[in-house]
Structure 1
Amino acid sequence: MFDWETEKAELLKKIEELMERKRYAQLREMLLPMEAADIALLMEELPEETMPLLFRLLPKELAAEVFVELDSDEQELLISGFSNTELKEVLDELYLDDTVDIVEEMPANVVKRILKHTDPDVRKSINEILKYPEDSAGSIMTTEFVDLKRDMTVEDAFKRIRRTGPDKETINVSYVIDEGRHLIGLVSIRTLLLAEEDDVIEDIMQTNFVSVSTLDDQELAARSLSKYGFLALPVVDTENRLVGIVTVDDAMDVLQEEVTEDIEKMAAITPSDKPYLKTGIVETFKARIPWLLLLMISATFTGQIISSFENALEAFAVLTAYIPMLMDTGGNCGSQASVTVIRGISLSEIEFSDLLRVIWKEIRVSVLCGVVLAAANFVKLILVDHLLFQNPAVTPLVAAVICLTLVCTVLCAKLVGCTLPMLAKKLGFDPAVMASPFITTIVDAISLLIYFQFAHMLLHIG
């Protein structure tokens, strides 16, 4: 197994040495046993001028696999250096969905050249897939699958698989269609191998299957593949006609993109489809500054609350010292609840109908957490702040104000953290938007209002 992390530097050094000495045959032999993804990672680390030469050393099939694994910038660089013949050879080796991905990421002049050197049938399929909405199952499917007729025998099925299989992305599952290309069943290669040659496909096919529509969200297709452990998922149109399949490798890409997008939204960053090191400074700035401005402006409400209780703070200045602790604890509790609920929503474990169950659970959790935190804080205030540091302002009554505020803040924070993502989902927004920064700002204001309310009731200030 190729260990990228430990062997990268050594391999890069060896590649550069062999290229300098023009030992191309030896370099080719070194690359052949490697996985395409690892070769792509190595090529991205090498100087740009060496990439085309290294790429041309690879066999056509391996070269196409490496090409798919490269980032769009490297792909564009190679395409610009390809002759028309080389470009056509690479395109002929690519699966349709990979070609569509490349077309979507390339600038117009490169796309025009790619389509010009693509077979007419493939070009037609590319254009059909590009018509589907972005982020739909139709946009990530491939039309390269094996279809069978219900009246075929197992022997006929194997003949068709041998004849058409080399050009298909997968032959592990074949899809049974009728005369109108409606999907009526599927049969695995294992079932075919274990059946008799004269068995009829209709008698051995599986009629209880899962499919998605071309207009379904791509994340639904990806999660269906993950849920059922399929290697491919059939895609049908509005009339249940089989038009393509979504394979597990595309599903993994979708899930990775969705997770990355959620993480960026939860960190208050506008999502980007570019790797961090390949995103320009201005682009990174534009992705971050809108949220920072919004959160900064919303945080001014916290300042206004503190200003409105300025007299109370003057009378009991010691209360000021514990504001950061209360706000941070509330923000942390809200973040815990929101992240847990957002994760549950993304995995389809939590629906809006579960709102009351979620709230009831978070209430019980928050009571336990709040009591433990308040008890620990009360002991710390009396033993450390009052006795050890001999701070006379920290009286048992002041400690009670702080600890009661802590209990209520934890309760409110967890309720806000669990309900906002679910409400956002119900209203059609991405739940990830209601994550840590946004919830922390809300909880900060709530914790201050609770704090000064208890100070007013118990200390008679404000």
Structure 2
Amino acid sequence: MNLKKLEFEKLIEQISTLYREKKYSQLKSILADINPTDIAVLFDEFPNEQRILLFRLLPKEEAAETFVELDGETQEALIHAFSDTELREVIDELYLDDTVDIIEEMPATIVKRILRNTDAQTRKSINTLLKYPEDSAGSIMTPEFVDLKKDNTVEDAFKRIRRTGVDKETIYTCYVTDSSRHLIGVTTVKELLLHDYGDKIEEFMETNTIFVNTHDDKEIAANFLDKYNFLALPVVDMENRLVGIITVDDAIDVLQEENTEDIQKMHAIMPNEKPYLKTGIFETWKSRITWLLFLMISATFTSMILNAFEDKLSALIVLTSFVPMLTGTSGNSGGQASAVIIRALSLKEIDFKDIFKVIWKEFRVGVLCGITLAAVNFVKIWFVDRTLLGMSAITIQVDLVISLTLIIEIIFAKMVGCVFPILAKKMKLDPAVISSPFITTVMDALSLLIYFWLATMILHI
């Protein structure tokens, strides 16, 4: 049963009614037909007491899959309610990388209890994964994969898959290692099926294997899976020994986290992994206030420029009315360029060596955009602001100052918007930090300087 085919509210009401009437067998039957991901969404609509009972109605395997999809707070509440036996059953059904993800979000008391209810080998594997840096490929890999030897026959391979595959996260892609566990090749179940039982793996395995190191950034691993359309990616240690794999579902999570983080940074918000409605008011305040304070203080430069040209503004007040339009346009232009460049950097489409190509392209784009906006603005100011709105102080020279300012500031905004992220990447800073709010602040000041310089030169004020 797909939750999308049901009215969500109706299903919630049905489950609530069956719960009140204690018709647990019917509840169990309904839940058994729902995808674990959708069950996790349903659980958000019930208080903890009901979640615990509903969770206990799930079959063992489905319960484990649902548990992985729940948010940290719900997982913690369930663990508190579990007996040691129930906790052990859930942990035993989880893949190792999912167990590590859960442990990383839990308080120390919960972590100790989880580890206490795992066997020695599992604890050792968990501790190994926890030692890798948070953003590394090693931190998201799983050691549960199918490995073969090059002198295995196809028949040997199928026997091994049948014997060990039940505990592996994926059995489609199989990795070929030597006696020291060095990665020497890869094959798939499709290839095995297309060959005779007596054929040896070394006769058809792919030896040009793409892999990542345990200490490579996890975003690099995710991008490899996306680029090569892999279902899984091997992870090796410093001595090229195969120690784990990263599956496509983990790569999707990484890319989603990175995209969310970039969006937050681009809008001057400190990254927060919690869902919006699960984030408290003070947490939200904390994630936003730092950048707001910085941007507010940095805007002092704009005030200083306005104060410096106060006499000139008082001599021709009409200039003041166009300041918001000019600063807004320059900020928007810079923001457009920075967003495109940040995305291109993320996708590895450009690098620092391409900086002059990017500047040249954005310069030409800036010229075209500036001329187009200036031409439209010139006509608009003359016929709308001067004629229809009666702003008689607007002259051809004033209109020319505003339009020329648009051309120059847009060219500068495009170049600033593309250069800052590239330089940030070169200095090993996050390009998303050098984004729209920061560029807008810089361009506000620069636009005013250009505006008043042109006004001084053309209007002689």
Q: TM-score, normalised by structure 1?
A: 0.99
Paired with 1:22 and 1:88, the residues of 2 have a C-alpha distance of 27
Paired with 1:331 and 1:5, the residues of 2 have a C-alpha distance of 44
Map of 2:223 onto structure 1: 223
Do the aligned partners of 2:137 and 2:235 also contact (CA within 8 Å) in 1?
yes
Paired with 2:5 and 2:270, the residues of 1 have a C-alpha distance of 30
Secondary structure of 1:186's counterpart equals strand
Paired with 2:247 and 2:21, the residues of 1 have a C-alpha distance of 42
1:252-331 mapped onto 2 (5 Å cutoff): 252-331=252-331
Spell out, residue by residue over 1:238-264, the C-alpha distance to the aligned partner (whole angstroms, 9 max, x if none). 110000000011111111110111011
Report whether the alignment pairs 1:169 with 2:192.
Answer: no
Secondary structure of 1:458's counterpart equals helix
Secondary structure of 2:271's counterpart equals coil
Name the aligned partner's letter for residue 439 of structure 2.
Answer: I
Paired with 2:164 and 2:30, the residues of 1 have a C-alpha distance of 33
Identity %: 62
Paired with 1:15 and 1:6, the residues of 2 have a C-alpha distance of 13
Map of 1:409 onto structure 2: 409
Spell out, residue by residue over 1:342-389, the C-alpha distance to the aligned partner (whole angstroms, 9 max, x if none). 011111111111111111111111111100100001001111122222
Q: CA deviation at 1:6?
A: 6.1
Q: CA deviation at 1:391?
A: 2.0
Distance 1:457 1:5, change over 3 A: farther
Q: CA deviation at 1:2?
A: 2.2
Map of 1:71 onto structure 2: 71
Paired with 2:447 and 2:30, the residues of 1 have a C-alpha distance of 63
Paired with 1:315 and 1:91, the residues of 2 have a C-alpha distance of 76
Paired with 2:67 and 2:402, the residues of 1 have a C-alpha distance of 61
Map of 1:55 onto structure 2: 55
Report whether the alignment pairs 1:17 with 2:17.
Answer: yes
Paired with 1:362 and 1:215, the residues of 2 have a C-alpha distance of 36
Map of 1:128 onto structure 2: 128
Map of 1:426 onto structure 2: 426
Name the aligned partner's letter for residue 363 of structure 1.
Answer: F
Paired with 1:159 and 1:251, the residues of 2 have a C-alpha distance of 30
Aligned-residue CA RMSD (Å): 0.9
1:327-406 mapped onto 2 (5 Å cutoff): 327-406=327-406
1:61-210 mapped onto 2 (5 Å cutoff): 61-210=61-210
Spell out, residue by residue over 1:378-431, the C-alpha distance to the aligned partner (whole angstroms, 9 max, x if none). 001111122222322100000000000010010011110000000000001000
Distance 1:177 1:444, change over 3 A: same
Q: CA deviation at 1:268?
A: 0.3
Q: CA deviation at 1:27?
A: 1.1
Paired with 2:350 and 2:333, the residues of 1 have a C-alpha distance of 19
1:435-450 mapped onto 2 (5 Å cutoff): 435-450=435-450
Secondary structure of 2:186's counterpart equals strand
Aligned length in residues? 461
Distance 1:6 1:313, change over 3 A: farther
Paired with 1:258 and 1:211, the residues of 2 have a C-alpha distance of 21
Paired with 1:404 and 1:3, the residues of 2 have a C-alpha distance of 57
Paired with 2:325 and 2:285, the residues of 1 have a C-alpha distance of 31
Secondary structure of 2:37's counterpart equals helix
Name the aligned partner's letter for residue 214 of structure 2.
Answer: T
Map of 1:454 onto structure 2: 454
Name the aligned partner's letter for residue 10 of structure 2.
Answer: E
Map of 1:236 onto structure 2: 236
Secondary structure of 1:184's counterpart equals strand
Paired with 2:400 and 2:326, the residues of 1 have a C-alpha distance of 13
Paired with 1:197 and 1:20, the residues of 2 have a C-alpha distance of 57
Q: CA deviation at 1:278?
A: 1.3
For structure 2, list consecutive stretches of 5 or more residues without a partner in the other structure: none
Do the aligned partners of 2:366 and 2:414 also contact (CA within 8 Å) in 1?
yes
Do the aligned partners of 2:3 and 2:38 also contact (CA within 8 Å) in 1?
no
Secondary structure of 1:45's counterpart equals coil
Paired with 2:6 and 2:329, the residues of 1 have a C-alpha distance of 41
Paired with 1:239 and 1:367, the residues of 2 have a C-alpha distance of 53
Q: CA deviation at 1:5?
A: 9.1
Spell out, residue by residue over 1:37-64, the C-alpha distance to the aligned partner (whole angstroms, 9 max, x if none). 0001101211111011100111100000
Which is further off, 400-409 or 19-28? 19-28
Paired with 1:198 and 1:183, the residues of 2 have a C-alpha distance of 23
Do the aligned partners of 2:175 and 2:185 also contact (CA within 8 Å) in 1?
yes
Paired with 1:188 and 1:389, the residues of 2 have a C-alpha distance of 73
Do the aligned partners of 2:3 and 2:34 also contact (CA within 8 Å) in 1?
no
Paired with 1:91 and 1:359, the residues of 2 have a C-alpha distance of 53
Paired with 1:428 and 1:455, the residues of 2 have a C-alpha distance of 40
Spell out, residue by residue over 1:107-159, the C-alpha distance to the aligned partner (whole angstroms, 9 max, x if none). 00000000000011111000000011111000000000000011110000100
Paired with 1:451 and 1:31, the residues of 2 have a C-alpha distance of 65
Name the aligned partner's letter for residue 311 of structure 2.
Answer: N
Name the aligned partner's letter for residue 277 of structure 2.
Answer: L
Paired with 2:260 and 2:17, the residues of 1 have a C-alpha distance of 37
Paired with 2:182 and 2:354, the residues of 1 have a C-alpha distance of 37
Spell out, residue by residue over 1:198-228, the C-alpha distance to the aligned partner (whole angstroms, 9 max, x if none). 0001111110121000000000001100111
Paired with 2:7 and 2:262, the residues of 1 have a C-alpha distance of 33
Distance 1:425 1:109, change over 3 A: same
Secondary structure of 1:169's counterpart equals coil
Q: CA deviation at 1:7?
A: 1.9
For structure 1, list consecutive stretches of 5 or more residues without a partner in the other structure: none
Q: CA deviation at 1:29?
A: 1.0
Secondary structure of 2:206's counterpart equals coil
Paired with 1:110 and 1:150, the residues of 2 have a C-alpha distance of 43
Q: TM-score, normalised by structure 2?
A: 0.99
Paired with 2:37 and 2:3, the residues of 1 have a C-alpha distance of 12
Secondary structure of 2:174's counterpart equals strand
Paired with 2:286 and 2:334, the residues of 1 have a C-alpha distance of 27
